[in-house]
């Protein structure tokens, strides 16, 4: 027999039921968003140049007239989720849907396509099975697909392409704030972007700081045939083995993919790579990643970070980290101090010094 003195009222229990349903059917929001992107809804509303009515939207999307009521129901959910808004004249874009425009910079549509790809969603279905597994190294992704996510990317060109496109689109968000980081790049002459893919981040930094010499380090097949310039070069290699020498070593959304042990290896390679600058001081490591448990942030920001943390566990061997967990990695790798600046939304800029 229950001995709990907290006896909920019927009203509280029904509210709890709604809370459970909201999260149990959370996939409905992501699938509705995916559908809107597939149909091109943000693009059509944007091109209309003014609020668009439901019949106009259905016509512009070339949907059968028989789908008008069903499409209204989809849009009603998306409006409630604040991806679109309505006024007396029709549907309009919100800040969120403007980030989904194909012509926009940044454009997060490719990133969303990766997040809702069936190959990414399937491992979540096996999470309970994974918890019962005795294999400490295998991820839920490996339980679902037989190989690690990085191996899967190497073996599946389609997924590898959409994954890299998604990460590149997400990297474009840096353009919104990189110019605010002037003091971070002050005095630097060279920078290596580790795991920099096709060089979106390096190009963004060069737009704001054209005096820099940037090198992108990534796996040979990722940077193959990439065009080089006077200030931007590409090097194929393994970040766990060696990192080219520079004033600063940059890791953007890299370390959260990896275990603590692997992160310490990366940091040690970075410490070896940062050279003495003209003023006699060593260079530094720049990390753009999430920092958990920052009390000043909004609840929605915290929820997104916690979701990302579990996603890193499902797909890879990494995690999101608290400031104390970051500090432990830095000290273990031989660094003496660090500075955290929350400048990139859910992510912070961490400067790490020898």
pLDDT digits (tens, 9 = 90+) for 75-126: 999 999 999 999 999 999 999 999 999 887 789 999 999 999 999 999 999 9
Question: C-alpha angle with apex 59: 53 to 63, nearest 5 degrees?
Answer: 120
Q: Are residues 81 and 122 in the same domain?
A: no
pLDDT over 70, % of the chain: 95
What is the domain count for the chain? 3
Q: Which candidate, 121, 30, 151, places its Cα nearest to that of 83?
A: 30
pLDDT over 90, % of the chain: 74
Question: C-alpha angle with apex 114: 109 to 116, nearest 5 degrees?
Answer: 95
The pTM score is 0.89
Q: Are residues 200 and 295 in the same domain?
A: yes
* Higher pLDDT pick, 111 / 223: 111
Q: Are residues 192 and 339 in the same domain?
A: yes
Q: Is residue 3 part of a domain?
A: no
**Residue 285 phi, psi (nearest 5):** -105, 135
Q: Which candidate, 259, 337, 340, places its Cα nearest to that of 292?
A: 340
Contact 266, 240 (CB under 8 A): yes
Q: Are residues 329 and 182 in the same domain?
A: yes
CATH of the domain at 256: 3.40.50.150
Q: Are residues 138 and 200 in the same domain?
A: no
Which range has highest mean pLDDT (101-115, 282-296, 327-341)?
Answer: 327-341
Q: Are residues 120 and 183 in the same domain?
A: no
Give me the DSSP letters along 123-142. Answer: HHHTHHHHHH---SS--HHH
Which range has highest mean pLDDT (150-164, 172-186, 307-321)?
Answer: 307-321
Catalytic residues: 256
- The pLDDT value given to residue 278: 57
Give me the DSSP letters along 304-345. Answer: HHHHHHHHHHHHSS---EEHHHHHHHHHHTT--EEEEEEEET
Q: Is residue 5 part of a domain?
A: no
User: Lowest-confidence range among 6-10, 19-23, 63-67, 334-338?
Assistant: 6-10
H/E stretch holding 204: helix 200-208
For the chain, state the CA radius of gyration. Answer: 23
Residue 118 lies in domain: 109-169
């Amino acid at each position: 027999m229950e001995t709990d003195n907290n006896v909920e009222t019927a009203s509280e229990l029904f509210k709890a039921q709604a809370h459970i349903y909201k999260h149990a059917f959370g996939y409905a929001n992501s699938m509705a968003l995916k559908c809107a992107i597939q149909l091109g809804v943000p693009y059509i509303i944007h091109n209309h140049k003014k609020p668009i009515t439901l019949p106009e939207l259905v016509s512009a999307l070339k949907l059968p007239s028989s789908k008008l009521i069903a499409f209204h129901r989809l849009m009603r959910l998306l409006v409630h989720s604040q991806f679109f808004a309505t006024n007396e004249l029709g549907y309009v874009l919100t800040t969120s849907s403007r980030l989904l425009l194909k012509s926009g910079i940044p454009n997060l549509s490719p990133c969303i396509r990766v997040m809702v790809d069936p190959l990414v969603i399937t491992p979540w279905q096996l999470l309970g099975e994974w918890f019962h597994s005795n294999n400490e190294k295998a991820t839920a992704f490996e339980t679902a697909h037989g190989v690690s996510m990085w191996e899967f990317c190497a073996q599946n060109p389609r997924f590898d392409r959409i994954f890299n496109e998604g990460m590149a689109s997400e990297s474009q968000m840096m353009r919104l704030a990189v110019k605010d980081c002037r003091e971070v790049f002050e005095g630097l002459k060279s920078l290596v972007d580790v795991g920099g893919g096709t060089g979106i981040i390096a190009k963004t930094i060069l737009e704001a700081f054209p005096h820099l010499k940037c090198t992108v380090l990534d796996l040979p097949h990722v940077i193959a045939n990439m065009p080089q310039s006077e200030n931007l070069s590409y090097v194929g290699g393994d970040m766990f083995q060696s990192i080219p020498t520079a004033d600063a070593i940059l890791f953007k959304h890299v370390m959260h993919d990896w275990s603590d042990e692997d992160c310490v290896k990366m940091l040690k390679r970075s410490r070896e790579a940062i050279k003495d600058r003209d003023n006699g001081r060593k260079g530094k490591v720049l990390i753009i990643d999430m920092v958990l448990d920052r009390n000043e942030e909004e609840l929605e920001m915290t929820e997104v970070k916690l979701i990302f943390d579990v996603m890193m566990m499902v797909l890879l061997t990494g995690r999101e980290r608290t400031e104390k967990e970051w500090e432990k990695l830095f000290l273990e790798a031989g660094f003496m101090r660090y500075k955290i600046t929350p400048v990139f939304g859910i992510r912070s800029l961490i400067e790490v010094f020898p």
